[in-house]
Amino acid sequence: MAVNEEALMWVEKYRPKTLDEVVGLRDIVESLKAFMKKPKTMPHLMLAGIPGTGKTTIALAIAHELYGPNWRSFTLELNASDERGIDTVRDRIKDFSRYSRSGFGDIPFALIILDECDQMTGPAQTALRRIMETSSRTSRFILICNQSSKIIEPIQSRCAIFRFSRLDKQAMKEQLQCIAKKENVTLQPEAAERIVDYSEGDLRHAINALQTASAYKEGCVDEKTVSLVIGEASPMQVQKMIRKALYGDFIEARKTMYEIMGSYGFSGNEIIRQVLREIFKMSDLTPEQKADLSNIIGEYDYRLTQGANSDIQLSALLAQFAKFGKAIGETGT
């Protein structure tokens, strides 16, 4: 069935089809290209790292490189978080891996892509370990996970591991501008900067934010539109709240905090996340002061994750900021 390109989300519509099209992962791409030159030497792969950095894209690009337009006929793609039990491993994966694909050109194996495999159960991972060993003549596995520590050691030892870090900001901006141009959308530089900062190295998140902003204001995406779409307070407004607290005006700082929460519907964790981000942008704070404030923020973030009342904890956080600011004033540093 033909795919309607217009109906696709931009993340899928502009997903790279080859390794050459992948942005921001030059070292990983160059290493994988070496395998593509001699496919028979390709080992099982494990792609590990934070979400939205290109792990699934790389896996699908490898499938395209190996098999061309017919890649789906020679690739089994599963999301292990949905199909995480031992039955899936014993039935679907084992059945697919046992048949040789030697009739397809120079590629003597099929490809099995397991996304989010760190969600697989222990027994399923144990069964997978044995299948990876016995089916190596007919299959190659690409295991995708966010936390490689959740994968048992015997599986890790059978794979070449590639670790994905946050994508380079400049590469992300260039990709966003490229997509905007193809969609006839004007993306202002300040808006692109805001999206990239908000996404924190997650390109998938950034592309989704761009698509949403372009729908909100057709033809042009500016910084104001991005702020409305991502539901993030103005950096100046958050810095104003922080400075009021540090200068000892606790009541006004707390009032500003409630204004931000009321305007944007923030949760306590979202407020803390943006407070941390803005602290590191404030040039009037020394590195030591930023470190001390980060330590304070960490404590209250932990309390919120444990289910503490957000209003009380955020007020306490601002009170600690006020206390910290007073100590700075008294020492003169």
How sure is the predictor about 327, in pLDDT bands with cuts at 50, 70 and 90? confident
pLDDT value, residue 67: 86
pLDDT at 190 over 60: yes
Residue 58 CA, distance from chain mean position: 14
Tokens of 123: 């027994």
Could you tell me the CA-to-CA distances from 252 to 126, 135, 234 in Å, in that order?
57, 66, 17
For 218, counting Cβ atoms within 10 Å of its Cβ (0-12 exposed, 13-18 middle, 19+ buried), the class is exposed
Residue 28's nearest CA partner among 50, 45, 11, 10 is: 45
Residue 155's nearest CA partner among 40, 32, 28, 44 is: 44
What average pLDDT score do residues 258-269 get? 78
Is the separation of the CB atoms in 63 and 71 below 8 Å? yes
Q: What percent of the chain clears pLDDT 90, i.e. is strictly above it? A: 27
pLDDT 10s digits, 55-88: 999 999 999 888 888 888 888 888 866 655 666 6
Is the separation of the CB atoms in 192 and 169 below 8 Å? no
What average pLDDT score do residues 33-43 get? 84
What the chain holds in terms of domains, given with CATH numbers, is 5-164 (3.40.50.300), 171-230 (1.10.8.60), 235-331 (1.20.272.10)
* Location of structure tokens 């957000």: 310
pLDDT value, residue 82: 62
What does the alpha-carbon distance between residue 98 and residue 84 come to, in Å, rounded to a whole number?
20
What average pLDDT score do residues 187-192 get? 90
Where is average pLDDT lowest: 34-48, 150-164, 308-322? 34-48
What average pLDDT score do residues 189-206 get? 88
pTM: 0.75
Average pLDDT over the chain, rounded to an integer: 84
